[in-house]
Amino acid sequence: MKKYLLIGVSAFVLGAGSMAYVSQHALAAATPPKANTYRMLGLFGDVLDIVERQYVTPVDDTKLIHAALDGMLTSLDPHSNYLDPEGFDDMRDQTRGEYGGLGLEVTTEDGVVKIISPIDDTPASRAGLKPGDFINAVNGDSVLGLSVNDAVKQMRGKPGEAVTLTIAREKSDPFDVKLMREVIKQKTAVGKVDGDYGVLRLSGFDEKTTDEATQAINDMKAKNPHMKGLVLDLRRNPGGLLDQAVGISDLFLESGEIVSQRGRDPHDVERYNARPGDITGGLPMVVLIDSGTASAAEIVAGALQDHKRAAVVGLTSFGKGSVQTVIPLRGGLDGALKLTTARYYTPSGRSIQKTGIEPDLEVAATREEAQEVANRAFGFSEASFKNALNADEGKTRKGAHTPAEEPPEGFDAKKDFQLTRAEDVLKYGSVAATPKLPVPTARLASILAKSKVAEVKTAKPEPK
């Protein structure tokens, strides 16, 4: 069975999760529903009949039922949903690494469409759209209150056609961005040589990722046979196919477990192990992550971190530690269910659900990003979803705090500070040996202190 890791977004790309095909025979053999379930199904039929006969305008039965199915599944958790036949076809096209669209990953929260990440070298990324941006309207038509599937359908269209998105961004007035739809031929693995080090950028995990990464690493070694280390850049990587996450991890591990997934039944455990052979010959490695590193990308980061194969640099990852099974209905003719069926665990047995992968060296990309981490408990992460699966008992995501490092005054804004620090770790041999920068000022505390001073100044003196 082919398995996918899904981040729970429906968009021009579906990222991170697990897909398996379940036979109709197996479904038929399931335990019969309780009598109360039949009564509630009858209630659903009664409501549908009333809507058909009395709603103010004619209704489409198929559309109503699809919406009901999607509502039922999305009430379970952020990553379960119903895919209509068109959405199921789109998902299969997207995992092949070529599809039409804008190159956006989106989700919905409280009826608002939110960007998880633009994909590298697509109309969305070239237009400067950012994770956390809200999409208020498409071509002037509001998408507020729509399901994620309906919102995405408004953004899809023929390549070459223009689409205007109305964007709301924190600390900015709403603004319009005009994009041109195009066929997205996503190359998920790109390598470059940066002095003594190779940098392998992975923007997702589709069917070609492991092959593309292998070719990129071989090309880098050919350009610089004396490479001293490798940076694996997983920032803003929302995930993709589970077998590709396993394949990428296996490129760098000689043995041991990569990931395990565990279902409702405690005995339902599936393990994925590395095979002998390290494509780099044991070169030192650093993995770069941030809050946009999710699911399949977190599997890779967690495996390399647990095996002490690589140091992890950046910010705490998204924290999506669940697996979804995609169940085609009538072979896909009636679409498919995407249902959360398991959690996954890193080699040391830790679940990163809600908590994420914490870096060995915490580094903010910009001073503005450091400010956001200092002022916001979770930012945009799995922990920010109201109906997300609970974390392991006793575990919580790290709250608002001042990151250990941020770009110092005078750092060239055109340079990549996190990559610079990753290469410093390679240069000095370990995180412990890498000279640390001065800890940034605790901005959150200073803001609170200023507000208290302001309160004192504006308070009226008590009468004597």
- DSSP 3-state assignment of 353? coil
Number of neighbouring beta carbons within 10 Å of residue 401? 13
Distances in Å between the Cα of 254 and the Cα atoms of 123, 226, 228, 242, 251 are 39, 21, 19, 19, 8
Give the Cα separation of 57 and 51 in Å (integer): 10
Buried b (16+ CB within 10 A) or exposed e, 150-164: bbbbbbbbeeeeebe
Tokens of 195: 């002095």
With beta carbons less than 8 A apart as the criterion, state whether 241 and 209 touch: yes
Q: Which of 323, 270, 355, 351 is nearest to 80 (CA)?
A: 323
Place of tokens 């196919």: 241
Q: Which of 141, 169, 172, 135 is nearest to 12 (CA)?
A: 135
Tokens of 423: 């290469």
Give the Cα separation of 249 and 264 in Å (integer): 26
Half-sphere exposure of 376 (CA within 13 A, CB side): 15
With beta carbons less than 8 A apart as the criterion, state whether 381 and 319 touch: yes
The residues that are catalytic are 295, 306, 320
